[in-house]
Amino acid sequence: MNLRLLVCLLIICLAGACAHRANNYNVGTVNTTKADESKTVFKRFPGEICMINDSIAALANSAQVLSLYNIHSGVNIANSGIEKTNFDSLIGVTYQKKYEGVKRFVYGSGFELNGNNYQLGSFVHSENRFFIHVSTVVEVYDLEDSPDQRPANASKDTNMIMMDYLNFIFVADADLKIEKIYPLYAESISRKKNFYPYYQKNFYVENNALYVPVGRMDEPFKELEKKMNCDPGNYSLVCFNFNRENAADFFLDFKHADFSDFRLRDYIESPFSFFKWDDKLLFCNGKEIYDVKSGEKLFDKKELDSDGHEWIYKFRIKDDRLLLITGKMPDAKEIAAKKENGEQATCKYKFKIIDQKTSESVAEYPLPGITSAIGFSDEQIVYMDRDKENYSFKYIRYNEN
């Protein structure tokens, strides 16, 4: 074999190896498993799916129950007992005790959340436990100017301030048995500084610290198309510590986190997510990814589609790869066209692999039509679907070649 031929063959082999490295993930077909509804019945798609491992998923069912399922067998492994909580008693030993003589909280006034007297919001699996946001609604009376402390059932009393939410974090073990309940008193400190905690947009807990996205209280919801206030003094997150009930710390000011192209509607509707990577807590505002403590940017929005309509729904880091689930919502024209044909326009999702060190795209794969929340592990993408009779788990395996 002459030298020229040998060099050519070597070049071809190296090129093949490089091409192989540039796209080194196998993404499988969709698998389907019927969900067991013998213990708890699905009324709608879960608002959140969290993969505990590659077989077990935790999901919030109808904003009432946190459940564990084996996605491969469909078996319902465990369900939280939050519905058994005596909220009247819980409020009495928490909020009422703390504000005794200042406020009176009247529970059970007939106001319901999703057909019940409480609402299960976001949750997170951390430190081998589940931290679950639960809220309930009460009537609040100001007693400071009411020496006779009017009866609890006096709902039309002039001392009533408002109907208000009381927020708690329920802590459950790996089998969803409730271990502790933390009332979130410290949010009043946040509100005094003009920021309200937005638990519905996700949160994270580590070392007794609760990290929650915040919004400005002086930004009216009626002006949804208005650009957000991006003054440097604004923050992305507030941190409440379960052991310091009257303290609130803020992270990721707007000098580090970029919301410059956000409308208020974008802030409300965009997906926020967290991920623990080694000793760093990472936060994604739907466009970019940041280290919460240092403010370092790990992923820039310029790597997303240039039209600005692509959002990051889930992310994780595995080895030197940044794995993203991104989605693009249909525009108004597409929504109208689908509606005219009796169809529903859905978000178009992609699975994207990014080189974490260079931010260069390695590969991307379109995902099938998905209308539920998405779960994401190191080896699977999980979501739910339904037909006329059953809800089912759908999962797509992926792995490196």
Q: Which of 125-129, 294-298, 341-345 has the lowest mean pLDDT?
A: 341-345
Q: Is the pLDDT of residue 187 over 90?
A: no
Could you give the CA distance from residue 255 to residue 180 in angstroms, rounded to a whole number? 37
Q: Which two tokens stand for residue 141?
A: 């009376």
Q: What is the mean pLDDT of residues 260-275?
A: 90
pLDDT digits (tens, 9 = 90+) for 107-129: 875 555 555 678 888 999 999 99
Instruction: Evaluate whether 324 touches 286 at the Cβ level (below 8 Å).
Output: no
User: pLDDT averaged over the chain?
Assistant: 85
Q: Is the pLDDT of residue 147 over 50?
A: no
CB count within 10 Å of CB 174 equals 13
Q: What is the mean pLDDT of residues 27-40?
A: 93
- Compare 330 and 313 and report the one with higher pLDDT: 313
Say what the pTM is: 0.87
pLDDT digits (tens, 9 = 90+) for 55-92: 999 999 877 889 999 999 999 999 998 988 999 999 99
Q: What is the mean pLDDT of residues 324-335?
A: 83
Task: Name the nearest CA neighbour of 301 among 317, 316, 312, 313.
Answer: 312
Task: Name the nearest CA neighbour of 133 among 165, 106, 109.
Answer: 165
Instruction: Evaluate whether 67 touches 75 at the Cβ level (below 8 Å).
Output: no
Q: Which residues of 214-224 are buried (b: 16+ CB within 10 A; e: fewer)?
A: bbbeebeeeee
pLDDT at 214 (0 to 100): 93
Q: Which two tokens stand for residue 186?
A: 């410290």
Q: Which two tokens stand for residue 213?
A: 């996205």
Query: Rg of the chain over CA atoms, in angstroms?
Result: 24
8 by DSSP, 3-state: which?
A: helix
Q: Which two tokens stand for residue 327?
A: 């989605």
Q: Report domain extents, the chain.
A: 80-183, 195-299
Instruction: Evaluate whether 245 touches 185 at the Cβ level (below 8 Å).
Output: yes
pLDDT at 357 (0 to 100): 83
Instruction: Evaluate whether 40 touches 79 at the Cβ level (below 8 Å).
Output: yes
pLDDT at 18 (0 to 100): 38
Q: Is the pLDDT of residue 50 over 90?
A: yes
Q: What is the mean pLDDT of residues 273-286?
A: 95
Instruction: Evaluate whether 49 touches 384 at the Cβ level (below 8 Å).
Output: yes
- Compare 19 and 289 and report the one with higher pLDDT: 289
Of the CA atoms within 13 Å of residue 305, those in its CB half-sphere come to 15
Instruction: Evaluate whether 71 touches 377 at the Cβ level (below 8 Å).
Output: no
- CB proximity list for 37: less than 8 A, separation 6 or greater: 76, 390, 391
Query: What does 169-234 look like in DSSP terms, one character per residue?
Result: EEEE-TT--EEEEEE-TTHHHHHHTTEEE-GGG--EEETTEEEEEEEETTS-TT-TTSBP---TT-
Going by the DSSP 8-state scheme, the letter that residue 35 receives in this structure is P
Q: What angle do CA 273, 264, 134 make, to 5 degrees?
A: 50
Of all helices (H) and strands (E), which one includes residue 188?
A: helix 187-192
Position 370 confidence tier, pLDDT thresholds 50, 70, 90: confident
Q: What is the mean pLDDT of residues 146-165?
A: 57
